[in-house]
Structure 1
Amino acid sequence: MNNLDRNSRTRVQGLTLTAVVAALYAAVTMMVAPIGFGPVQLRLSEGLNHLAAWNKRYIVALSLGVLIANLMSPMGWIDWVFGTLDTLIMTSLTYYLTRRIASPLKKIVISTFSVLTVGMAILAAEFTFAFAINAAGSFAPDHAGSIWANWLSYYLMLVPGELASLVVGGIIIFALSKFINLSK
């Protein structure tokens, strides 16, 4: 096999993996759709965010999967734009923080920290913005108050479901990493 054939095969495999992960993210989100949107959510597909710690292709795959899933979001364009950008930012951060780390457990811990801090902070800001402009499908926090209080309310509502999804996903990704080279 010459180098051109090998490069073509590698590109096709990479594109296929990207499409499969994007479709998997969207499909899992749709399976739990009633609880996969809003400030209190359990979006199990978020456990796939750990994949970004192994290969930058998953940044694109996860962002595309979020965009596809968010096409069904009650918040419409706000979730399409900001939800997708949020995923792009937090998975990129995860990739850059873990690219030189070999330990799968350390990768998952760093990924979890990245998603729970940066990712959920951006998502809480998205909900705060949507509520502030009275966007269709936006959810009111438990109280009316300052923007900071609203942001904090959303953040605290988002973190438990996200943590649960990341733990489940972390266990699955950790097990997969023992049998499959996720970096290729």
Structure 2
Amino acid sequence: MNTTSFKETPQSTVSEVAKTAIVAALYVAVTLLLAVISFGAVQLRLSEMFNYLALFHKRYIVAVTLGVILANFMSPTWILDVPIGGIATFLVLLICRAATKKIKNLVLKFVVTAVIFAFSMFTVAIQLAFIYGSPFWPTWFTVGIGELLSMTVGGMVVYSLQKKLDFTK
């Protein structure tokens, strides 16, 4: 059998699916490992750091969205959290890629992404208001601050990792 006729390239389907699956699995693992702080009106979902990967390669939009959907099945509000969280994540990742496309400074890209994600937490506040009767504005504030904190800590981690790992490939 001639094994030289098949060469896996960075764009191969197997490589793309594997990278997507790894990031989705990491998102789920980090969320569930820290489940006690990953859900609710006051949350610190450190797995949100993976949102930054979408700035490096579009495959990570699917990876993170899939991770959010799977992790949200463990949410106490999963009935709304799975579809709304999945759709919101997908859309916000697209918005972040578009909003930061022309920004050259990576730190500024991260800051813009963190602010957009923190703002987008109104979707979580709406869910919690609907299911638990939580007051919308204070809930949006606490969830948004938690997201901003998660994205700040996660941004430092991803920023450090991108110096050693090429997330664009």
TM-score, scaled relative to structure 1: 0.82
Structure 1: runs of 5 or more not aligned = 132-139, 142-149
Q: 104, 107, 110: which one pairs with 2:106?
A: 104
Q: How many residues align?
A: 166
1:7 shift after superposition: 4.9
How far apart, in 1, do the equivalents of 2:78 and 2:122 lie? 20
Deviation track 1:52-75 (CA, whole Å, cap 9, x = no partner) reads 111111111111001111111111
Q: Output aligned runs, 1:72-151, within 5 Å.
A: 72-117=74-119, 119-131=120-132, 140-141=133-134, 150-151=135-136
Aligned position for 1:56? 58
SS of 1:91's partner is: helix
Give percent identity, aligned residues only. 36
How far apart, in 2, do the equivalents of 1:32 and 1:6 lie? 36
Q: 154, 158, 161: which one pairs with 1:173?
A: 158
8 Å contact kept, 1:49–1:91: yes
Report the RMSD for the aligned CA atoms in angstroms.
1.9
Return the letter of the residue paired with 2:92.
Answer: M
Does 52-61 or 100-109 show the bigger shift?
100-109
1:6 shift after superposition: 4.4
TM-score, scaled relative to structure 2: 0.88
Aligned position for 1:183? 168
SS of 2:153's partner is: helix
Return the letter of the residue paired with 2:34.
Answer: V
1:180 shift after superposition: 2.0
Return the letter of the residue paired with 1:162.
Answer: E
Structure 2: runs of 5 or more not aligned = none
8 Å contact kept, 1:54–1:99: no
Aligned position for 2:25? 23
How far apart, in 1, do the equivalents of 2:154 and 2:162 lie? 12
1:94 shift after superposition: 1.0
Pair 1:66-2:68 in alignment: yes
Distance 1:100 1:121, change over 3 A: same
Does 151-160 or 121-130 show the bigger shift?
121-130
